[in-house]
């Protein structure tokens, strides 16, 4: 199989984790006789420094020519004081919009060998296995107006939570597809229907879509309650679907359940078939350039890509198995070493390659 | 001292927990030679059933004549299908707006005797002691438009996150006052400044106010990160200040840290001096009427009232100490009994009265 993969390392540890992921992908290609072509693009702070734009035209072009995209991370204190259009995050938000990456999938699973690193007690975490499906191109993130105004004669500011019904429908449909075909057939739709009109439409649409999936059970949960339930009994969840801002908050909260933020992968799926894969963690400027970041989240994101974008199930499984084996052998990067001797970013990737 | 207290039991377990709290307050009054007059008002589902309105005019009048308000809880499945204006929550939201209850204070503290009931490991939770200051009368909860619209020729829906600068300023000032006079002088201001314009104004105002409190350190934290940090290292927090919707989500999440939702009190402070006190937990329709609800959160809310509204520090402490003693003696309501014999709502309150 011949595939083009766009690589957007971005900022901070983004570069390091993408670099070693490429090595793992090259090994997979050799082993399974595929040809992967890698094209690098600039995004985030790096792109601001080199091109004066967090998402240069060239980067968009590189992505559009590719069959899939791997992103590292964007952001860092260096650009925090920049005006909005010159901030790294704008690059990521603009890319999501430009490529219509509307469905962000974040699987939350435990690794048996890492259960002890969770802040939660083992019996709460043991066997947790759910996925958050977050809407990624609508809501408060993109609604207009988003500006300073005069209101009742006073200085004020407004942001806008806007959804087309069709945008709500397609993300809920994605969640039902996943629940029905790939998981345990239970959906928790999270909203704030006792306060927001958008949530009431969300709930209506969820009910409508549910009629087409009689084998899937649908439950509604208020977002404040969901924030509690994620801690109180995370095992109850199979598929969570929610709007952009709620999804941002809840998925970061959920990443703490397993205590292995450095292990969690994500996929952002588009309507066009060109999808993006990235680790859940950020650019971690404090540890950037030290060869100590955990590359597993990015390596597992690459596995998601092989499965979801290229249909290479066997190859995806091979990576996942290699990661499991290396963890079981006791190798850990600094984030998980708990004071024991830690492997470097490169060593970790090297061991995964060898285990392949 | 002579004081009038408006009681709004509301729905579900609201009635039971308010009833026994009144008994505790009567004991305090006797003991310390005060006169408390109690005036009952309808709110929520109960008010809908009896008056066709979740916040009848009489209730507002009763509150306005009082020196402080104690609320139980509102809501239940019975009214979930009602149109918006006939839902119990509307009563609470309207009351907040009507009485300008703009600052919701939710202290998150651990009870040594209950540390084991947290889903989090002891070492994460031990000694946690912070307060969330949530803006309660602005933002997405009250902004207009909040309605279905046609957008780009399609069915759509919009909600509005609106803040006057002065509304942001007063809540941040409240947080600084609390941090400076009553706590450890550290503020974490939570926003989403990398996406929302309202958050950027929020951050500016926080910086401005901070200049007037040089003894207080101010830190900004993005809301997604805050949702992580609350689990990862809750001890880092002293005072968290945030806008309405973020505060709703984060404070419910935070209530899980200590594993004692049934123990957590809250105060909603107004600009006029007429404040409202209520437990953090909801109306819990599944256990309503069974005399098994944990009344401690409401009893501790009453203690907050004595301190904050009436300046009765000694009396407040007496209640808090009584609660501590009863817990230390091993008495637990069903929510915390972990399979052991549980005290009823009335027994729990009775023991607290006796310990006074
Ligand atoms: C960087 C930021 C704009 C982004 C978001 O809020 O969506 C990030 O937090 C994420 O979750 O991918
Ligand atoms: C009942 C509901 C409207 C309310 C809110 O969202 O503010 C509740 O969740 C709370 O936190 O007091």
Per-residue pLDDT of chain B (356 residues; tens, 9 = 90+): 999 999 999 999 999 999 999 999 999 999 999 999 999 999 999 999 999 999 999 999 999 999 999 999 999 999 988 988 899 999 999 999 999 999 999 999 998 888 888 999 999 999 999 999 999 999 999 999 999 999 999 999 999 999 999 999 999 999 999 999 999 999 999 999 999 999 999 999 999 999 999 999 999 999 999 999 999 999 999 999 999 999 999 999 999 998 878 999 999 999 999 999 999 999 999 999 999 999 999 999 999 999 999 999 999 999 999 999 999 999 999 999 888 899 999 999 999 999 99
What is residue B75's predicted lDDT score, i.e. its pLDDT? 93
Closest CA to B266 of B3, B70, B39, B28: B70
Q: How far is A326 from chain B (nearest CA, A)?
A: 25
Which residues does chain B have within 8 Å of residue A147's beta carbon, measured at their own beta carbons?
Answer: 197
Within a domain: B114: no
Of chain A, the percentage scoring pLDDT greater than 70 comes to 100
Last residue of a domain, one of B256, B272, B303: B256
- For residue A166, which residues of chain B lie inside 8 Å, CB to CB? 154-155
Q: Does the residue A120 lie in any domain?
A: no
Average pLDDT on A122-145 reads 97
pLDDT of residue A115 exceeding 90, the answer is no
Residue A113 lies in a domain: no
**Tokens in use for A33?**
């006789």
Domain that holds residue B160: 129-256
Using pLDDT thresholds of 50, 70 and 90, give the confidence band for residue A80: confident
Q: Alpha-carbon torsion A12, A13, A16, A17, what sign? A: negative
Cβ(B228) to ligand 1 under 6 A? no
The Cα-based distances of B87 to A143, A297, A348, B17, B145 in angstroms read: 28, 44, 55, 22, 20
**B212 and B305, same domain (yes or no):** no
- The answer as to whether B66 is a domain residue is yes
CATH number at residue B232: 3.40.718.10
Asked if residue A115 belongs to a domain, the reply is no
How many angstroms does the Cα of residue B242 sit away from the middle of ligand 2?
Answer: 15
Decide: B268 and B104 in contact? Cβ < 8 Å.
yes
- Ligand in nearest proximity to the CA of B279: 2
Shared-domain flag, residues A153 and A252: yes
Q: Which residues pair with B338 in a beta bridge?
A: none
Are B216 and B179 in contact by the 8 Å Cβ rule? The answer is: yes
Q: What is the pLDDT of residue B338?
A: 84
Average pLDDT over residues A3-19: 98
* DSSP conformation letters of A126-143: TT-EEEEEEE-SSGGGTE
Neighbours of A81 (CB within 10 A): 8
Q: What are the DSSP calls for B55-95, one per residue?
A: S-HHHHHHHHHSSEEEEEE---GGGTTS-GGGSHHHHHHHH
Asked if A241 and A277 sit in the same domain, the reply is: no
In this complex, the residue of B161, B201, B253 whose CB is nearest that of residue A231 is B253
Query: Which chain B residues have a beta carbon less than 8 Å from that of A232?
Result: 119, 256
Going by pLDDT thresholds of 50, 70 and 90, the confidence category of residue A149 is very high
Nearest residue to B180 via CA among B214, B136, B131: B214
Yes or no: say if A277 and A305 are a contact pair by the CB < 8 Å rule: yes
Q: What is the pLDDT of residue A340?
A: 87
**A116 occurs within a structural domain:** no
- The reply to whether B18 falls in a domain is yes
| Contact flag B155-A165 (C-beta cutoff 8 Å) | yes
**Residues A240 and A136 placed together within one structural domain of the fold:** yes
**pLDDT-above-90 percentage for chain A:** 94
Terminal-residue alpha carbon distance, chain B: 19
B136 plus B246 within the same structural domain: yes
CA of B106, nearest ligand number: 2
Strand segments, DSSP code E, in B11-153 are 35-40, 68-73, 101-109, 129-135, 139-151
pLDDT of residue B124: 96
Nearest alpha carbon to residue A4 among A33, A39, A30: A39
Total domains, chain A: 2
Domain-ending residue, one of B206, B222, B256: B256
Give, in order, the Cα–Cα distances in Å from B270 to each of A225, B1, B174: 26, 22, 11
CA atoms A136, A138, A144, A150: torsion sign: negative
Does the C-beta of A248 come closer than 6 Å to ligand 1?
A: yes
Residue A15 and residue A83 in one domain: yes
Question: Quick check: is A330 in a domain?
Answer: yes
| Contact assessment for residue B141 and residue B175, using Cβ atoms and an 8 Å cutoff | no
DSSP secondary structure letter of residue B200: H
Closest residue CA from atom 1 of ligand 1: A89
A64 and A39 in one domain? yes
**B147 and B249 assigned to the same domain:** yes
Mean pLDDT of the A53-73 span = 98
Strand partners, B105: B133, B267
Q: Are residues A133 and A252 in the same domain?
A: yes
| Average pLDDT score over residue span A23-49 | 97
Q: Does B149 lie in the same domain as B69? A: no
Q: Where does B41-118 show beta strands of DSSP type E?
A: 68-73, 101-109
The three-state secondary structure class of A38 is strand
Of B203, B230, B256, at which residue does a domain stop?
A: B256
Together in a domain, A190 and A168: yes
Do A234 and A295 lie in one domain? The reply is: no
Would you call A151 a catalytic residue per the annotation? no
């Amino acid at each position: 199989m011949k595939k083009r993969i766009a690589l957007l390392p971005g900022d901070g540890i983004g570069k390091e984790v993408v670099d070693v992921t490429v090595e793992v992908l090259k090994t997979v290609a050799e082993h399974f006789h595929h040809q992967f072509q890698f094209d690098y693009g600039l995004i985030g702070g790096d792109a601001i420094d080199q091109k004066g734009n967090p998402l240069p035209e060239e980067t968009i072009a590189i992505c559009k020519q590719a069959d899939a995209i791997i992103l590292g991370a964007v952001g860092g204190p260096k650009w925090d004081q920049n005006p909005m259009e010159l901030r790294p995050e704008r690059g990521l938000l603009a890319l999501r919009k430009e490529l219509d990456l509307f469905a962000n999938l974040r699987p939350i699973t435990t690794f048996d060998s890492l259960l002890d690193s969770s802040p939660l007690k083992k019996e709460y975490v043991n066997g947790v296995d759910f996925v958050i499906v977050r809407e990624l191109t609508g809501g408060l993130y993109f609604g207009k107006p988003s500006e300073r105004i005069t209101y009742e004669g006073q200085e004020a500011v407004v942001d806008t939570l806007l959804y087309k019904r069709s945008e709500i429908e397609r993300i809920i449909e994605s969640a039902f597809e996943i629940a029905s075909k790939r998981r345990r057939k239970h959906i928790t739709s999270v909203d704030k229907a006792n306060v927001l009109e958008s949530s009431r439409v969300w709930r209506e649409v969820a009910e409508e879509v549910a009629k087409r999936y009689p084998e899937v059970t649908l439950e509604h949960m208020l977002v404040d309650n969901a924030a509690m339930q994620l801690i109180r009994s995370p095992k109850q969840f199979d598929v969570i679907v929610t709007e952009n801002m709620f999804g941002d908050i809840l998925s970061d909260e959920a990443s703490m359940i397993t205590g292995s933020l450095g292990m969690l992968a994500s996929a952002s799926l588009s309507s066009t078939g060109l999808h993006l894969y990235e680790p859940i963690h950020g650019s971690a400027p404090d540890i950037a350039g030290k060869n100590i970041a955990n590359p597993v989240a990015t390596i597992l994101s690459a596995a998601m890509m092989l499965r979801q974008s290229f249909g290479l199930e066997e190859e995806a499984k091979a990576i996942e198995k290699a990661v499991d084996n290396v963890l079981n052998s006791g190798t850990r990067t600094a984030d998980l070493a708990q004071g024991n001797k830690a492997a470097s970013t490169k060593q970790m990737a090297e061991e995964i390659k060898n285990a392949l």
